[in-house]
């Protein structure tokens, strides 16, 4: 299974909720990390420093793929990629 992480800015973030809902509807398994939680400061540093994003949501897929914002196109591509991998 490919690890997918959704970095969220909390429950008030509409784009974060829309991203998570679309991923759930597509059957994707992902880990949600709330960047507004002080316990997740190292994840916030990773998103800012390593990935270069300053807005949420940020989706990171094992293997180097990542994007920010509500991106149905990227979610669709990820679903297609995973479907192809399952068929092998």
Taking the whole predicted model, whether its pTM rises above 0.85 is answered as yes
pLDDT value of position 85 = 60
> Hey, what domains does the chain have and what are their CATH numbers?
4-87 (3.40.30.10)
pLDDT value of position 83 = 76
pLDDT value of position 88 = 54
Going by pLDDT thresholds of 50, 70 and 90, the confidence category of residue 87 is low
- Residue 52 and residue 15: Cα distance in Å, rounded? 18
pLDDT value of position 81 = 86
State how far the alpha carbon of 27 is from the alpha carbons of 24, 41, 68, in Å: 5, 29, 20
pLDDT value of position 34 = 98
pLDDT tens digit string along 10-57?
Answer: 999 999 999 999 999 999 999 999 999 999 999 999 999 999 999 999
């Amino acid at each position: 299974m490919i690890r997918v992480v959704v970095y969220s800015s909390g429950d008030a973030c509409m784009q974060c909720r829309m991203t998570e809902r679309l991923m759930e509807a597509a059957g994707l398994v992902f880990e949600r990390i709330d960047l507004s939680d002080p316990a997740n400061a190292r994840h916030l540093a990773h998103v800012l420093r390593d990935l270069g994003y300053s807005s949420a949501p940020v989706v990171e897929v094992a293997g180097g793929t990542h994007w920010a914002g509500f991106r149905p196109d990227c979610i669709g591509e990820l679903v297609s990629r995973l479907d192809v991998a399952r068929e092998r």
